[in-house]
Chains A and B, each alone.
Chain A
Amino acid sequence: MDNAPTARSRTRLSPALRRLLIFKVWLVEHFRPSERQVTLIWAAVIGFAGAIAAEAFRKATLFLQFLGTGEIRGIVTSFENLPLWQRFIVPVVGAFFAGVTLWSGNRLITSVRQKSTTDYMEAVVVGNGYISFRASLVKAISALFSISSGASIGREGPLVQLAALLASLAGRLRHCPVPQKRQMVACGAAAGIASAYNAPIAGAFFVAEIILGTVVVESLGPLILSSVVATFTTRALIGASPLYRSPDLGFHSRWEALPLCLMGLLLGFLAPVYLQLLRQVERIFSRLKYPVPLKMTIGGAIVGGIAVFFPQVCGNGQELLSSLFHQNWDFYTILTLLIVKLAATSATFGSGAVGGVFTPTLFIGSALGFLYGQMVLLLFPNLQSDPNIYGLVGMGTFLAASSGAPIMAILMVFELTLSYTIVPYLMVACVLGYYCSSIFERRFMYGESLERKGAAFFSSQLAEVSVTDLIRTDPITLPEQASFAEIARTFLQFQFQHIYVVGEDRRFLGAVSLHDVKAFLDRPELETVVIAADIMDENFPRISPLQGTAEALRKFSETNAERLPVVDNFNSQRLIGSISKTDLILHLAGEQSRPSVGRAVGANLEQPAPVAASPRDGDQ
């Protein structure tokens, strides 16, 4: 009986394992991949994948466009070179196929309707971060037919949708809690916007301002990274020039600020009219008791009919916008194009086509700005106004007033044009336009979809996400008699800063900190004489599911731990899981933004999903 127990000697670490552990601790010390950093890495991956998906969609659109028009140049150019009958028939056929795709997709997937969604905004704002794969695919294919056949609607909607879908799939792969899944979908949306418009800052702020309704560092960081990676990837694939390089701009008089401010107010009045027009046309189409393919074919016929005389209305308006800045169109040409583009866009949008209204909105704002600028030039020739300035400021102001997101609009116009000269005026006009519009409009461009889905659904989804949803079950634990070797091995195996120590019936006893033991990992003599109970912190903070988020946040503020253990109650102290600081902050940020949902957040860059939700695709 004069020897120490030999059983424990079997738990010793081999020298190689010990060296590996020391190396890992060194890595953790120097690179410390905390949860936030892991989220950032995922954001970058999502940004890259989103850009690739966007590019694949662009290529697929070009391919279908080639089949329909025989050209792969811009959609307007392609239509201008078509015979008149074909200008009419291509949008009709494309709309028919788009409608059939939606209709058949509906029939295939309609049997299962539940929590999954096709709407990335809904997935971020009130959902659980799941986006249905099959339903999204159906919508993407439908959008492919519409966009490639000249429908007056943008591809940015499907681009964002696809990027968000990939992010949702990644969220499922990570098995992370709901707030992080939402955050990943938000990163996907930011990547989609950034790659569609070559606008990384606006991409991030679009999601922060419109979808999340909040600008919190915790959520903005991943959004920015995702946007930037998506932008760089897109630039590597298709080039780096701004979408609408503005001509050289110059202000001849500081008094020009006055008509620009006045324009801000004017466009603030007109934006609600534009939104009403879109809604009215949509209402008219919804009253038609025809099947979806027929409704969409009617929409395609309207676009085709207009395209016979004005092929410029085809597509999202990107080429039209570019021409606006580089061709000296007179007042009446711009007015005519504005009217026909409005008609084509509202017909396409109203008929149920899947696609975006973002770029058409940019064109409409810009055209209104040009018209206003020409009138200013006429009325006040001494100002020597440059209508281009009014076009650019109008573009941003109308976007701000329609979307209810002035910050995003300012950044978007700046990134689209890379013109700093107009930024101060743009800022003032955007803010004025936004405030003016909000007097008349309570539901901005992106405030529709959720309302359509019904208050009951909205409320139930909100109620489903509580602090309990943030708990990650089955945390890594050790018994109190676990040897130092076991502790070291566990730190080697898992990327945690703390390991929880439990007693009988999983009673939480304390936590062993990597910080406390890292200097002793190369001491083999400790492996069998020190146990977890010797070095654990018995006062390690813990929370109960009954406590509120504010209390949880307060406890996080008292420690440097990234996670806290959750016990069922403070009497039994039974460990039921852990909660992460990142999840909590994202959750709180989301909670704070939700009251604004009814005001500004909601719909999509595209139509509300006509395709029924499919079952959850995958795990959990």
Chain B
Amino acid sequence: MAGSDVEAIDRLLSTLQENPNLVDLTALRRAILDRQKVDPPLLPMGVAFPHARTDSVRNIVMVIGISPEPIPFPGVAARLVLLIGVPKKAISEYLELTSFLARHLRGEHVLDGLMSAKGIEQFLSAFAVT
């Protein structure tokens, strides 16, 4: 379990090392942390989605982190962390994705379904509940 938001972000970023859509991991980390400083993106029910629009990714990337114990993000104790990297040009895609997540992650039963997911299929199917 991560002890802080930065630690949680670093652990999620480490999974992207080999991702073909990644251009520069350091730049992505810096962009996400800069964004966190300005105004950490949070949702009720303990969801954090640190993200950044940056050219350090070729396409949208998303890493999902589930923690049984709440992680102290500024303003929320997060159990579900969605780390997102979006290319600069993809403003519409970014807004579409953010809108989707913000709309679906407000229901407690959806969140429970996501938290208990054992794989990506179960995770995605949890959204279908809504």
B98 and A4 within 8 A (CB): no
Interface size, A (range): 20 to 34
Q: Is the interface of B mostly helix, strand, loop or mixed?
A: mixed
Enumerate B46-81 residues with CB–CB distance to A below 8 Å.
Answer: 46, 49, 51, 53, 70, 72, 75-77
CB contacts (< 8 Å) of A517 on chain B: these are 95
Bound-complex Cα distance A4 to B51 (A): 16
Nearest CB on A from B119, distance (A): 26
Contacting B75 at CB < 8 Å: which of A5, A530, A531, A535?
A5
Contacting A531 at CB < 8 Å: which of B39, B43, B102?
B39
Residue B41 at the chain A interface, CB threshold 8 Å: yes
Tell me the total A-B contact number using a CB cutoff of 8 A.
69
The residue of chain B having its C-beta at the shortest distance from the C-beta of A531 within the complex is B39
Nearest CB on A from B68, distance (A): 14
CB contacts (< 8 Å) of B16 on chain A: these are none
Contacting B46 at CB < 8 Å: which of A2, A533, A537?
A2
Q: Beta-carbon contacts of B87-98 to A below 8 Å, as 1s and 0s? A: 010011011101
Residue A520 at the chain B interface, CB threshold 8 Å: yes
B98 and A530 within 8 A (CB): yes
B75 and A529 within 8 A (CB): no
Q: Beta-carbon contacts of A531-562 to B below 8 Å, as 1s and 0s? A: 10111011100000000000000000000000
B92 and A519 within 8 A (CB): yes
Bound-complex Cα distance A213 to B99 (A): 55
B76 and A4 within 8 A (CB): yes
B38 and A531 within 8 A (CB): yes
Nearest CB on B from A507, distance (A): 14
A4 and B75 within 8 A (CB): yes
Bound-complex Cα distance A536 to B50 (A): 17
Contacting A538 at CB < 8 Å: which of B46, B88, B102?
B88
CB contacts (< 8 Å) of A5 on chain B: these are 42, 75
The residue of chain B having its C-beta at the shortest distance from the C-beta of A9 within the complex is B44
Bound-complex Cα distance A530 to B91 (A): 11
From A5, A517, A531, A534, name the one whose CB has the most chain B CB atoms within 10 angstroms.
A534
Nearest CB on A from B77, distance (A): 5
Assess A481 versus B70: contact at CB under 8 Å? Given A1-B77, A519-B92, A525-B99. no
Residue A480 at the chain B interface, CB threshold 8 Å: yes
B76 and A516 within 8 A (CB): no
Bound-complex Cα distance A525 to B103 (A): 6
Extra contacts, 8 of them, besides A4-B44, A525-B103, A526-B102 (Cβ < 8 A), are A2-B45, A3-B44, A480-B38, A481-B38, A531-B39, A534-B35, A535-B91, A539-B88
Give chain A's interface residues, CB within 8 Å of chain B. Answer: 1-5, 480-481, 516-517, 519-520, 523, 525-526, 529-531, 533-535, 537-539
